[in-house]
Chains A and B, each alone.
Chain A
Amino acid sequence: MAVSIGGLRRERVPISKEKLAKHDKGEGIDLKAKSTRIKNKVIRQKLKRKEVVYNNTVKDTARTELLLTEDYGCLEADCGEVTVQYKQKQIVDNVDITAAAKRFTLNLEFGPYYIKYTRNGRHLVLGGRKGHVAALDWVTKKLACEINVMESIHDVSWLHIETMFAVAQKDWVFIYDNQGIELHCLKAMYKVSRLEFLPYHFLLASGSKEGYLAWLDVSIGKFVNSFNSKVGKIAVMTQNPTNAMLCVGDTKGVVSMWSPNSKNPLAKMLCHTQTVAACAVHPYGTYMATSCPDRSVKIWDIRQLAGPMHSYYVRAPVEHLSYSQTGQLAMAMGNVVEVYRLSTDEMKPYMRHRADWTVTSMQFCPYEDILGIGTTKGVSSLLIPGSGEPNFDGLESNPFQTKSQRREAEVKALLDKIQPELICLDPVAIAEVDTSTFKNKIETKNSVLYLKPKNIDFKPRRTKAKGKGGTAKVVKTKKILKELSRKETIDMLRQTDSRSDTRKTKPQKDYGILNRFLPKSNKKSN
């Protein structure tokens, strides 16, 4: 494509194939004159014009990558060294002061800690098992609130904005605002062990110790669905961010995927032969990692529900897993955290950190090179270069959001709230042709062929008139009715048959007057 600027013809910057593939929207419609299935010329012309627009859109969006300002973080080892051997201390010494400030440790005493970052990676909420809850802007280290709920805490989760978070306490789930004021007590979420928030659907999902799954629409305060998943205690639960399904790992080694629309899992994967200890899904929905107490870690292709892509054993059983935006996988085994990078064929350890205490929860911070870990005695953040996406989209999630922007974004997000009915395995199903219902229609039509005529349950009226009643008469009427209904059914069958049978019959030879001696089936076709 060429553009003329000030009389000079300038070629536009070429786009690499990888970039085009990244932004590709899939194959277009086949509109070639020979092979196309669209007969109408006018429609074909219209579609052609549309295809051109789509292709240009793909090119233009791919070209905008030129304008991205930030670059990925990186860590390169010197000759004879490997990146695994670098300690956090060394990295902190070698980076600039603002990045160094992001490495911190909080020593707290309310024991094992659960942490969650907001979607823009700016805020952190931490909950200690012994009742300690704190929300803070971890970049500026500004504390929003700190309370003790005087109950055991099992999980924490942010809601759609940083002014509200949910805490799974001893019995019920509570929602607090960023000043620590209790807003709601959700008694319908009972003995919850895991919380997840689905931001585009505004659903707070919970899995309980008794195996119940519940989805609460936080925008209208209504429970979408709640049922017993029958997998026992839900100790491992995570969400697939691309299709909003909940992945629940059970003690039999099965990871099941749940949507609020069905009481049975939409998919089940037998991942291990023992209990699933941890499960993590790539933020872009490509891979799922699972671990097992037998020290194995497996990577699955979650889009095709196939795998394992990789399967191997580590030195100690992995208790927690977390994926970063660039696809780095963090594993926590006891007090050791290892970060792996997925190279083309093999998983290689990239960084290792030995925490002071056992790691109890772990999450990569979005849009930052940070891995947050909660331990039995506090919370700390580790620098993992190259783990975060450098260029955020200001309209999707913005770490530098101001209050007014946040309010604006909240309204926009609420307008775009996706209905829970749309949660299914394939996130683009809504934009595709609904072939399944059409198939169903055809099937029901075909099933008519196997119908039997209705049973006639005939009960005669009692008449006292002379010569009108009598058993013989009743039997006769019954017979007539039966015959009628049989005829009706045959008629119906014939109609469907004639529609479905479009095969052409071979023209038969005409024998003139002797046609009457032909077998019946042949006569019909003549």
Chain B
Amino acid sequence: MADKPRIKLPKEAKKGEIIQIKTLVSHLMESGQRKDAQGKPIPRKIINKFTCEFNGKPVFSCVLEPAISANPYIQFDARIDEEGTFKFAWTDDDGSVVTAEEKIALKA
């Protein structure tokens, strides 16, 4: 399964500021189109869903298909109205979920 995801976001933001969040998770994203040396199709195994929540409220999510490159990189924005915690989750085809958390504080 995937390694620890890499997430980049500022440590603090002004109230109402829109910040950019960059995420990258290591995953082969096997498309199901490729064949092995014996000519047998390699079964599909991808991250099919990504979600981001802030203090329990949905911020951004996406459904991914095999047409997403290996080691899926997702960049999006979030508006910060209060301090709190971002929760990120990547769901694999095999049902496993990789999660990560990041805190953000309000700038005085």
A and B from one assembly?
no
Residue numbers of B with Cβ under 8 A of A are none
